[in-house]
Structure 1
């Protein structure tokens, strides 16, 4: 689900910023506002809801895509396709480059985790039940998705690996994390966060592989068509997760006790 969400975040972000030519600046503002709205819905929910949770993951992936592009890119021909000379209203991009952009985002992510550590709250996701804990969690998610986009674009555009090569490299790193899960001395919480960051560059490279022209090493399926297919896959997975969550809730001891109380009251 995370890979589907991050890949969709890449293709949908590019759809708005590049295909529809809204530009990185306007698209970043719009997608960040969508992230805020989805986050408020998630924070107001009293229990885990897969649709709410994964919608926020998707919104951070889309916002992270254009935030990264705005930080790292500029209006040079290298980043503008179809002979365009500009892209949307406002600044075309800060042009910091992938290394500088990644360094800034890594510093921000470390700062979030440092603050999180100082609060004494748990890093175990299922045990985060407070507003402050969720605020730190989603801050880390937004920064990690933006960082992952920078990493993925660097692998695709600047490393020489290409889209498929970058995706294979990140897949290999994720496979290594899977092996490390069997090593008792390595905390699973640490592996979770490494995996969470790495799934974003996988989504970035996979998304570019699907949408970019064949001449550049992509499949040229287009941002609109790729986004539609990925959205259908993600919604299907979210529906499955919702059904499974409902079954788990109905079979829990608390649910059985509540049902008994209801029957006695009736």
Structure 2
């Protein structure tokens, strides 16, 4: 797991005519992970609300959420700096779309939770290979090109879909249930945090492992809150659980927005190709090096 200090990166902007670029993506801090878990839990219950409770079905719900995702991510890609409300809207929509897409594959498509996890893991591996070969930075805090940000959002959409399959696999196929699955995943997250501080394991590898695992954590917590007691849940229902999580997300996003207004994010050096060092066109607002 990666936790950032939020300090300005050590780099010489004089080598680039563009100077510095405003961040499009947030620092990976404790608040980031809290927001991610709330957003992914909301994605689980929101996806179930539309597909199951409102009887829209997995296919139609997936098409609706993917359409909303395309609109939101277009706004995000066109933005010139980080906007918490836009960013977390996209994250929440990748979670809802990931929930219904995973269920469409695993249940309607009949490939099962194990098959779904294998397919989505393979797809995520392909995205990372393409990302690596593209020459874009793999540092998720310092992505500053259009191509890099597109790869970032594709990886997030697939990872959230994979997280849904993984959570269902643990809770149903393995038989741990919602509560025990959530406890196991929480323990793994704590272990990843320890690895970040006390080992030399690559920080980006820890980030993506943690990012994938927060999705099944959110899924199992969402199911635990919303499912009936006969299935091991608290029987809040998808509607009330979704409403509560949406309210929590709005409050947290408002807090992050207030926080950033008080302490604006520092810009990052203008992007260069990871292997050749050639300057690349930045996707954020360019600022002077001063």
Query: Equivalent residue for 2:261?
Result: 246
1:223 maps to 2:252:
no
Q: Deviations over 1:78-120 (max 9, x none)?
A: xxxxxxxxxxxxxxx1111011111110000000000000011
Q: CA deviation at 1:5?
A: 0.3
Using the size of structure 2 for normalisation, the TM-score is 0.79
Structure 1 residues 130-167: Cα deviation after superposition (integer angstroms, max 9, x where no partner): 11000000000000000000000111222111000110
TM-score when normalising by structure 1? 0.86
Q: Return the alpha-carbon distance in structure 1 between the equivalents of residues 187 and 265 of structure 2.
A: 38
Mapped partners of 1:205, 1:130: distance in 2: 35
One of 174, 193, 196 as aligned partner of 2:211: 196
Matched residue, 1:31: 65
Gaps of 5+ in 2: 1-34, 268-286
1:186-219 CA-to-partner distances (Å, cap 9, x unmatched) read 1222111111000000011011101111011001
Pairing 1:163–2:197 present: no
Superposed counterparts of 1:55-66, under 5 Å: 55-66=89-100
Match of 1:10 among 36, 44, 49: 44
Query: What residue in structure 1 maps to residue 83 of structure 2?
Result: 49
Query: In the TM superposition, what is the alpha-carbon distance from 1:250 to its structure 2 partner?
Result: 8.8
Task: Tell me which moved more, 158-167 or 138-147.
Answer: 158-167
What is residue 95 of structure 1 aligned with on the other side? 110
Q: Which residue number corresponds to residue 146 of structure 1?
A: 161
Kindly report structure 1 stretches of 4+ aligned residues shifted beyond 6 Å.
Answer: none
**Greater helix content:** 1
Which of 245, 248, 257 is 1:233 aligned to?
248
> Following the alignment from structure 2 to structure 1, what is the Cα–Cα distance between the partners of residues 47 and 176?
23
SS in 1 for 2:141: helix
